[in-house]
Amino acid sequence: MNQTMEKDKTDKKDHILDVAEKVFAELGYEGASTRLISGEANVNMAMLNYYFGSKEGVFLAIFERRIASFQSVLLSIGNDGSTNSWEKLNKYIESYVDRVVNNNCFHVMLNREISKSKKTDLTDQITKILMKNVIVFQDIIDNGIKCGEFNKDVDPQLLVATIFGTKNYIVNTPHISSLIIGYDVMDKDNQDEKLKPRLKTYLKKLLKAYLVNENDNNK
Amino acid sequence: MNQTMEKDKTDKKDHILDVAEKVFAELGYEGASTRLISGEANVNMAMLNYYFGSKEGVFLAIFERRIASFQSVLLSIGNDGSTNSWEKLNKYIESYVDRVVNNNCFHVMLNREISKSKKTDLTDQITKILMKNVIVFQDIIDNGIKCGEFNKDVDPQLLVATIFGTKNYIVNTPHISSLIIGYDVMDKDNQDEKLKPRLKTYLKKLLKAYLVNENDNNK
DNA sequence: CAAAATTAATCAATCGTTTGATTAATTTTG
DNA sequence: CAAAATTAATCAAACGATTGATTAATTTTG
């Protein structure tokens, strides 16, 4: 009858988490009430506590579900010792752009939570996860510099902020980035056909200009 | 007796907005209760409504207070017709980094609010303000390209995401960026002595490599 | 004294959570 | 196999706590 039917059989928990992820991304943790989440998911309010213990339990379950894919993708790139630094960087960019754009709701939710300056167990946990991601990227850059593949006078740490920040800006401020870029960045078709390839080529070109150009950047 | 004394005489309203700005940045709009804000500001809860009408009134008042300085700085750069594009860009970067780092609480608050995908009156209002900022930057880039000062095969729109995104990443995710950069980015002394100059030189170098290097970036 | 500022007390509404009852599905028992 | 016992899933209703807001009384100010 309704759109939840096909999921009921497979996994109701996953359906709840899918809906909760969207609502949290839309309204923030405190802004999303348990009544709204359960209503959107077409389940009784008590089911949230029955399944996940509490509202925070729902929130954490969303994270645990996404972390698995995070880790596996990271290792596959880090252990790829066959290619040079520039190729590794390209692979990293490609998989990262795909992953973030595909799970943009989750990343909006994540970034909103981590932007709270007060330290909590959750922010600590998120920080650890994200830092693993950062270190893989930094290792690639550092190795490239050691091998002479990349310029020596670069700032690898701020380059991290640029890569992740550029992505965050597009994903986290869709109202603005859609205006800037010229089409709705939240639209699935636009994401696959336009945004992803454009973002990939842009980031590669930006990185190349900064990392491997021979010109003296010190004037 | 307490730290609010010196401000009581000057302007109590401003003091409340200062505190509210911090609390909103820490906990988000829904996460920050009027009781907590009034408690932190050492004023009676009813004073918030007496002065600003409502909680949302407090929130909007924070914006209105910051917008004025926004606009004036923007115009001063946009109307500076005496210099070339690269010099304009440098000026823009300098003033922008200073402004954002100084008012980091406000910008955290602003970005958390604009990251909500649901359109509201507030997100529309914020979008308009931020777009003014974006357009000034884009005009500089576009002019530079027309004059032949900058490369033609660049992506000015995504470059906007890079500039603002890099800044956002450092300011909005202090737990992570502090780990990456190596010192507490929320510390006032670190901001003035280390972060600001480093960020300025980095952004300039990054822009120069991408915009004005003569090498073919299309290999 | 009149106006403005400030307070404590209180309001209805909503929050996340818990409850007891009911149904559906599964397992155990005779 | 069929009846009984047990478990899991689901529900409407209500819980105490907290929310933003308002009231009426009091104090401060010019």
A195 and A139: one domain?
yes
pLDDT band at A219 (very low <50, low <70, confident <90, very high): very low
**Residues spanned by the domain of B173:** 84-213
pLDDT at B200: 96
Report if residue B112 sits inside a domain. yes
CATH number at residue A44: 1.10.10.60
CATH number at residue B123: 1.10.357.10
Exposed/middle/buried for A167, CB within 10 Å: 0-12, 13-18, 19+?
buried
- What average pLDDT does chain A have? 86
A137 and A191: one domain?
yes
List, run by run, the mean pLDDT of 10-residue segments along chain B (219 residues): 40 93 92 95 94 94 83 71 85 91 91 83 80 90 93 95 95 94 94 96 96 60
A202 and A119: one domain?
yes
B105 and B193: one domain?
yes
pLDDT at A10: 46
Phi, psi angle pair for B108, to nearest 5°:
-65, -45
CB-based contact B166 A158, cutoff 8 Å: yes
B127 and B44: one domain?
no
Give me the CA B98–C1' C8 separation in Å, rounded. Answer: 44
User: Rounded CA gap, A36 and A30, in Å?
Assistant: 12
Higher pLDDT among residues A93 and B72, named by residue: A93
A131 and A33: one domain?
no
CB-based contact A168 B170, cutoff 8 Å: no
pLDDT at B9: 40
Average pLDDT of span A49-77: 84
B43 and B106: one domain?
no
Report if residue A135 sits inside a domain. yes
Is A101's CB less than 7 Å from nucleic acid strand C? Answer: no
Which of these three, A14, A36, A66, is where a domain ends?
A66
Report if residue A72 sits inside a domain. no
B59 and B132: one domain?
no
A108 and A137: one domain?
yes
Residues above pLDDT 70, as percent of chain B? 90
Which of these three, B13, B31, B66, is where a domain ends?
B66
Both tokens assigned to A46: 């008590």
pLDDT at A79: 67
User: Rounded CA gap, A147 and A141, in Å?
Assistant: 10
User: Rounded CA gap, B41 and B18, in Å?
Assistant: 9
Best mutation target among B105, B171, B176 (most A Cβ atoms within 10 Å) is B176
Report if residue A53 sits inside a domain. yes
Query: Tens digits of per-residue pLDDT, B7-23?
Result: 444 588 999 999 999 99
Domain count, chain A: 2
A188 and A133: one domain?
yes
pLDDT band at A6 (very low <50, low <70, confident <90, very high): very low
